[in-house]
Structure 1
Amino acid sequence: MSETIIGAVPDEWRLTTLGDLCRSGGGGIQTGPFGSQLHASDYVPVGIPSVMPQNIGDNVILEDGIARIDNDDAQRLSRYLLREGDIVYSRRGDVERRALVRSHQDGWLCGTGCLRVRLAGSAEPKFISYYLGHPEVRSWIVRHAVGATMPNLNTAILSGVPVVVPPANTQRAVGEVLGALEDKIAVNSRILATATELAVAHGQRLLSEAGGAEVSLGDYAEITKGVSYRSADLGAGENFLVTLKCVGRDGSFQQVGLKPYSGEHKGSQALESGDIVVAQTDLTQRAEVIGRPVRVVPLNPAGRLVASLDLVIVRPGPALSREVLIALLDSQDFRDHALSYCNGTTVLHMGARALPDYRFKMPGGATVAAATEFMSPLLLKGDSAARENRTLVQMRDTLLPGLLSGAIRVRDAEKILEAAT
């Protein structure tokens, strides 16, 4: 057995770097176009999608709201176009994230602020994309990223990532097993997104039709700041801190952002299922989650969930409901309002008055009841999909290190997957 970054692996597995692996197939690692090559005015409503840092999810490209360019610009920037099997990274910020380019995304643009990894047949792209998601590999990338305020990646850093390459049949088998989990996660994600969109759209329609007097949210909701904590309070304890990473860019509650917590907190800072939290900080380059409301959907942590200082808890007063609050806050109107209260050069901070000062037309009791009755079952259906997804993600993250190192055999992983799904 040979010792590697991901542990002991069979001696016959090849040890190399990501840069050498790409070059061996005639590929390489390349940055996307700089801002001087593609301006904000070049983007068009209909055209070829341009993958930006905000479009990079957990090994997937997030297509909702993606920027687009016309065919002339695509031809001009043809050296930056993506192919199926490429892997895309963000150059700044959350440098752990990467996305595998699928078949329908062939020909899209590797946009400004991104890096493209092209294997060109030197290894199975799906296997390498999962390998790059191994916790030890992610940690290696974060440790080697440069920048005092914000981590930055470049071609040299990515080229130096240590890579373990098993035989081709093993690569394909591992990719198929983990891909099956990813497919099920994708189905649940669509269920969650569709259920939430239907619920919110219907609730917003009812609220817009009802009218009513304009009021301030601070008069009809309890607004509580999350707890200010010390690093010494993290890593142990019977409670869990809900951090900014729990706020998904798709509006979902991400279990990955929970951290064991042993510090003090007020009772009002503890969260229950269905509570609404709003992100109040974000990076200026992305501004993806600030002001975004998320419903808390715990899996089954043994301890209490506590909101961190990056979040604000919003609870309805007697005249509203959690469902109506989501319909109000999950809107472009509130998003624009929240951004107008933000300041900061590197990190955006939402002002303390943003939520209390938000004004809306107060619906009558019958409208609140109707919106709540329609929205509640849909949101609960989405919650169920989210819980199942977190179980599948935990299974994937448990199987991934063992499969990638050969410690878990593919046939054993397939049995575990069959039993669970």
Structure 2
Amino acid sequence: MRSEVAFATSSRGSTMPEDWRVAPLGDVLTLQRGFDLPSQDRLPGEVAVVSSSGISGTHSEAKVSGPGVVVGRFGTLGTVTYITDDFWPLNTTLYVRDFKGNDPRFVSFLLQTLDYEAHNDKTTVPGVNRNHLHQTLVRVPPVSEQREVADALDAIESKISVEARLARQLRALVIALFERRFPQLDDETSGAWPIVSLTSIATFARGVSYRSDELRPADRALVTLKCFGRDGMYQTDGLKPFAGPYKASQEVRPGDLVVAQTDITQAGDVIGRVVQIPAHRDYPTLVASLDAVVVRPATAIPNEFLFGVLARESFRDLARGYANGSTVLHLDGRLFTDYALQLPPSELLSRFADEARPLLARAADACQQIDAMDALRRLLLPSLATGTLRLSGAAGADPGS
């Protein structure tokens, strides 16, 4: 992969480069529907199971050899997953059965530029027809330039992956440090420190209820359920532009802690998870949605200590016990009033806060780096994939641009 990438505008502006061609997608690749695999039939293994929203589990057997590209065709439309190893695409997806000599990585980026909503042929649950997709006209460069484009976009995605991995590691390190410093926090019988309720060391503000017509372009955004990853990480692509009213207590300031109070996963993977919210480059104001509750420490309680309390698996396990609902889980607010813990002396709280603060700050910086690089990727992807912006080494690119 290149360490440096230079770009040049196509020598004919927005006109397609001479060495590119226009062809139906079906002439570039062949899409095939995936295979059924109920959850109860999955066996322990390392083969990725790919659903319409991405990798969703593992199995002992592969159906397709890697590298491969999978597109969500039912439910979640247009999510494109590139996978290097053998895999099992579910029947809610389309996978590329034949790349017809084209670069698989370029194909994955090309498929991200299609308008899947225009091919939605379902009335209730979204779905696309592969035959309609095969008829879509696309621009295709020579294979050599396909690889150049893929390398450039891969460099951006590699940076995103590095920062995401660092953020996860830093979060895990803070939690491990917390457990080491306060191993008996939930032991109400030790008598080492005073027992307090969670509501005595923090305040809780439920998010705003909103109407669909309030989700329109604005200089502020809602922190929604999609901001909570199943792995506990904050996801900026879950933000929704919001133009409605809200209370001051519902505003999420940089560094604030937000806990998920709803969940649509069957296993309760998100309910009770806490994320620390960094500043956002496009939205100076963030507001908690009804799916979330803003948690702020009381006077003399470090925010880092409160993060440690809420980020532990023991708190998550307790939260699941306070969740109810059949299709959508809702967190019972009594969790916060019922939960009790030992409160360490202020000098121990300060020592932990001093240790955890730079780690959490770097994790927040990683989230901002991810957001910036993702914005760059979204900006460059349609231009590079259609030839309106070309790499300076590509044939026909204008070196003076």
Normalising by structure 1, report the TM-score: 0.77
Selected match of 2:70 from 88, 91, 114: 88
In 2, are the aligned partners of 1:222 and 1:314 still within 8 Å (CA)? yes
Question: Does 2:82 correspond to 1:100?
Answer: yes
The residue correspondences of 1:233-252 to structure 2 (distance < 5 A) are 233-252=214-233
User: Greater helix share, 1 or 2?
Assistant: 1
Does the 8 Å CA contact 2:223/2:238 hold for their aligned counterparts? yes
Matching residue of 1:16: 24
Q: Residues 142-197 of structure 1, C-alpha deviation per residue, up to 9 Å, x if partnerless?
A: 8616463x545676676666644332223212111111111111111222121111
Mark the structure with the bigger radius of gyration: 2
Aligned with 2:183: secondary structure? Answer: helix
Alpha-carbon separation, structure 1, partners of 2:246 and 2:52? 33
What residue ranges of structure 1 are gaps of 5+ in the alignment?
1-6, 414-421
Alignment of 1:14-413 (within 5 A): 14-17=22-25, 21-23=28-30, 28-35=31-38, 39=40, 42-44=42-44, 47-53=45-51, 56=54, 67-70=57-60, 74=61, 78=62, 80-84=63-67, 86-90=68-72, 93-102=75-84, 106-110=85-89, 115-134=94-113, 137=114, 139-141=115-117, 144=120, 146=122, 148=124, 151=126, 163-209=138-184, 213=188, 215-285=196-266, 287-301=268-282, 303-318=284-299, 320-411=301-392
Give the 3 Å change call, closer, same or farther, for CA 369–49 of structure 1 in structure 2. Answer: farther
CA distance in 1, matches of 2:197, 2:142: 63
Query: Normalization by structure 2: what TM-score?
Result: 0.80
Matched position secondary structure for 1:39: helix
Secondary structure of the corresponding residue to residue 218 of structure 2? strand
Please give the alpha-carbon distance, in whole angstroms, between the structure 2 residues aligned to 1:34 and 1:354.
37
Look up the SS of the partner of 2:234 in the other structure: coil
Counterpart CA distance in 1 for 2:337 and 2:77 is 34
Letter in 1 for 2:370: N
Over the matched positions of the two proteins, sequence identity in percent amounts to 33
1:199 to partner: Cα distance: 1.2
Contact 1:52–1:112 (8 Å) recurs in 2:
no
Distance of 2:292 and 2:140 partners within structure 1: 42
Contact 1:320 1:368 in 2 (8 A): yes
Aligned equivalents of 1:13, 1:303: Cα separation in 2: 43
Q: Secondary structure at the match of 1:208?
A: coil
Matched residue SS, 1:237: coil
Change (3 A) 1:406 1:263: same
- Amino acid of the structure 1 residue aligned with 2:82: L
Q: How many residues align?
A: 374
More displaced 10-residue stretch of structure 1: 175-184 or 89-98: 89-98
Moved more, 177-186 or 229-238: 229-238
Q: What is the RMSD of the two structures over their aligned residues, measured on CA atoms?
A: 3.2
Query: How far apart are 1:286 and its partner, in Å?
Result: 6.8
Question: What one-letter code is carried by the residue in structure 2 that aligns with 1:195?
Answer: L
Tell me how far apart the structure 2 counterparts of residues 156 and 405 of structure 1 sit (CA, whole Å): 22
1:43 maps to a residue whose letter is: L
Q: Deviations over 1:304-351 (max 9, x none)?
A: 211111211111223532212222222322222223333344433333
Please give the per-residue CA displacement for 1:10-69, whole angstroms capped at 9, x wherever unaligned.
58523313x55433xxxx42323331xx626x533xx3233254982xxxx5xxxx7544
